[in-house]
Structure 1
Amino acid sequence: MNAVIIEDEKLAAQKLESMLSKIQPSLKIIKLMGSIEEAVEFFQNEVQVDLVFLDIHLSDGSSFNIFDQVEITAPIIFTTAYDEYALKAFKVNSIDYLLKPIAQSDLRAALDKLMNISANGSSNDIEKLITAFRTNQAAHKQRFLLTYGSQIKSIRTEDTAYFYADNKMVFLVNQDGHKYVTDETMDQIEAVLDPMEFFRVNRTFLIGINSITKMNTYSRSRIKIDLVPACEKECIVSTEKCADFKRWLGK
């Protein structure tokens, strides 16, 4: 079997290739690619492959844009660090996915499932997957309705810098530095935000990518973040979140 890996993180691609060589020695990786442009050029040359490993978020955009330009008939196993984007769509459409960091047991199970699908003559319905993915994307919250004194305000998500919890209350801070009390919990807010734009660095802070002005190493390999607008509370990435936070920053 010939396969390709489309992944913009070189170390992640190399690790996946190494794992595959141990689990499925007969599977040959004929090409490593890191962008939509490179993948489109590859498939436009009518190169035949038996399997594609595809990261959802590439250096030049969503990998779903590949399907707008070329047809891929080979089975696809998607990889993602952001399960909010993918899990529902994949489960509904019986498409295999691997959640990063990829575990060897999950990779083996995905390959076994793929073999069963092939044996039964089933195929991936990529159009349904793309529709489900984009519907899920569009479902991210666009505005927050908040009370400010005696007024009710509608704050656009794109104008929001970050959220933080203090004294059992959750605050939204917009890019102008105004602070509003929300009626939702941090978990509820996290569930409706675009995970490409916002990240929960600890139990207290959920920050937007554009709110980061400075980062420094902190004790126990943690990261201290200076936010803009400035916040009276310290924002420190928890130890268990550091690896995912660094991956998020690189997307």
Structure 2
Amino acid sequence: MKVIIIEDEAIAADRLEKQLNEISPDMKVLAKLGSIKESVKWLTTHSADLIFLDIQLSDGLSFSIFEQVQVQTPVILTTAYDQYAIKAFQLNSVSYLLKPIRKSELMESLQKFQSLRTAFNINFDHLVSMMQSMQPTYRQHFLIQVGEKFRQVQTDEAAYFFAAHKAVFLRTFQGKTYPLDLALDALEQSLDPARFFRINRKYLVSMQAIAKMIAWSRSRIKIELAPPADDSQDTIVSIDRAKDFKDWMDT
């Protein structure tokens, strides 16, 4: 059987290919594609017996591939989405594998595919609509008063947020600091967790603002920010957040 893997994480794609080869040595992975653009180009001139499709690629939802090129190949979705999304897939008779993919579950999906191929043909128009409705919306900007004037600061401009003197401040990548009428807890809930992380009680930082990470005492991590924090001792990742921080930086 000839398959393709559409997955933007090279390690995950290699792992899946290895698992497939262990299950069925005669299975051939024709291509490992990491983006919508790359996938559309390949599928325009090639075909396969089965597609393993990651839902979220670096350039968008992978379902948009099928809006640009007509594909009749059955699909098995691979996803890291939470249980609410999984339930939605089940209700829509979608075959899926939850990351990290287990070999036993992969084998079960392949056996199901061999016995009931038609169940793997997916209504992508319906799924696109479903997934778009499930996409969370995050804060895009802040309205800040500077003297008698107001200024809109885009979230992309924020290097980090910090608590000091019983107030919360936003510091931009240009080093400008603005007071906010928001608590860090509320900010944490409103920002994209893929981009911002609460390292401790005082700091909520953008991944792009992390200039250096240093191993610290008691398995903690000290980070250096750019622009620099007022007190470098305040930018130590708390013990209870250290593992989550490492996972966040490794995704």
Q: Secondary structure at the match of 1:77?
A: strand
Shift of 1:20: 3.5
Q: Secondary structure at the match of 1:40?
A: helix
Q: Secondary structure at the match of 1:140?
A: coil
| Structural RMSD (CA) | 4.2
Query: What is the CA–CA distance in structure 2 between the aligned matches of 1:207 and 1:99, rounded to whole Å?
Result: 29
**Are 1:3 and 1:52, in contact at CA under 8 Å, matched by a contact in 2?**
yes
Cα offsets for 1:119-151 (capped at 9, x unmatched): 784742322332344445572222346788999
Query: What is the CA–CA distance in structure 2 between the aligned matches of 1:223 and 1:42, rounded to whole Å?
Result: 43
1:173 match: 171
**Are 2:184 and 2:204, in contact at CA under 8 Å, matched by a contact in 1?**
no
**Are 1:148 and 1:180, in contact at CA under 8 Å, matched by a contact in 2?**
no
Alpha carbons of 1:144 and 1:105: their partners in 2 closer, same or farther (altered >3 Å)? Answer: farther
Superposition pairs for residues 152-171 of structure 1, below 5 Å?
155-165=153-163, 171=169
**Are 1:201 and 1:245, in contact at CA under 8 Å, matched by a contact in 2?**
no
Query: What is the CA–CA distance in structure 1 between the aligned matches of 2:89 and 2:130, rounded to whole Å?
Result: 9
Query: What is the CA–CA distance in structure 2 between the aligned matches of 1:244 and 1:121, rounded to whole Å?
Result: 35
1:40 match: 40
Shift of 1:43: 0.7
Tell me whether 1:226 sits opposite 2:229 in the alignment. Answer: no
Match of 1:142 among 129, 140, 143: 140
Match of 2:247 among 199, 219, 244: 244
Query: What is the CA–CA distance in structure 2 between the aligned matches of 1:72 and 1:222, rounded to whole Å?
Result: 49
Shift of 1:13: 1.4
**Are 2:197 and 2:245, in contact at CA under 8 Å, matched by a contact in 1?**
no
Superposition pairs for residues 64-79 of structure 1, below 5 Å?
64=62, 65-73=64-72, 74-79=74-79
| 5+ long unaligned stretches in structure 1 | none
**Are 2:199 and 2:235, in contact at CA under 8 Å, matched by a contact in 1?**
no
- Aligned sequence identity (%): 26
Alpha carbons of 1:114 and 1:227: their partners in 2 closer, same or farther (altered >3 Å)? Answer: farther
Cα offsets for 1:21-77 (capped at 9, x unmatched): 44566754332223333322221114032232326223xx22534334223342231
Query: What is the CA–CA distance in structure 2 between the aligned matches of 1:104 and 1:12, rounded to whole Å?
Result: 12
Task: Name whichever of 66-75 and 130-139 sits farther off.
Answer: 130-139
Shift of 1:165: 5.0
Q: Secondary structure at the match of 1:124?
A: coil
Query: What is the CA–CA distance in structure 1 between the aligned matches of 2:115 and 2:16, rounded to whole Å?
Result: 22
Shift of 1:169: 6.3
Could you state the TM-score of these two structures normalised by the residue count of structure 1? 0.68
Q: Secondary structure at the match of 2:70?
A: coil
Query: What is the CA–CA distance in structure 2 between the aligned matches of 1:189 and 1:116, rounded to whole Å?
Result: 48
Query: What is the CA–CA distance in structure 1 between the aligned matches of 2:200 and 2:48, rounded to whole Å?
Result: 47
Q: Secondary structure at the match of 1:4?
A: strand
How many pairs were matched up? 238
Query: What is the CA–CA distance in structure 2 between the aligned matches of 1:168 and 1:27, rounded to whole Å?
Result: 61
Instruction: From the CA coordinates, give the structure whose radius of gyration is larger.
Output: 2
Alpha carbons of 1:45 and 1:110: their partners in 2 closer, same or farther (altered >3 Å)? Answer: same
Alpha carbons of 1:72 and 1:200: their partners in 2 closer, same or farther (altered >3 Å)? Answer: farther
| 5+ long unaligned stretches in structure 2 | none
Could you state the TM-score of these two structures normalised by the residue count of structure 2? 0.68
1:125 match: 123
Alpha carbons of 1:165 and 1:35: their partners in 2 closer, same or farther (altered >3 Å)? Answer: same
Query: What is the CA–CA distance in structure 1 between the aligned matches of 2:147 and 2:114, rounded to whole Å?
Result: 60
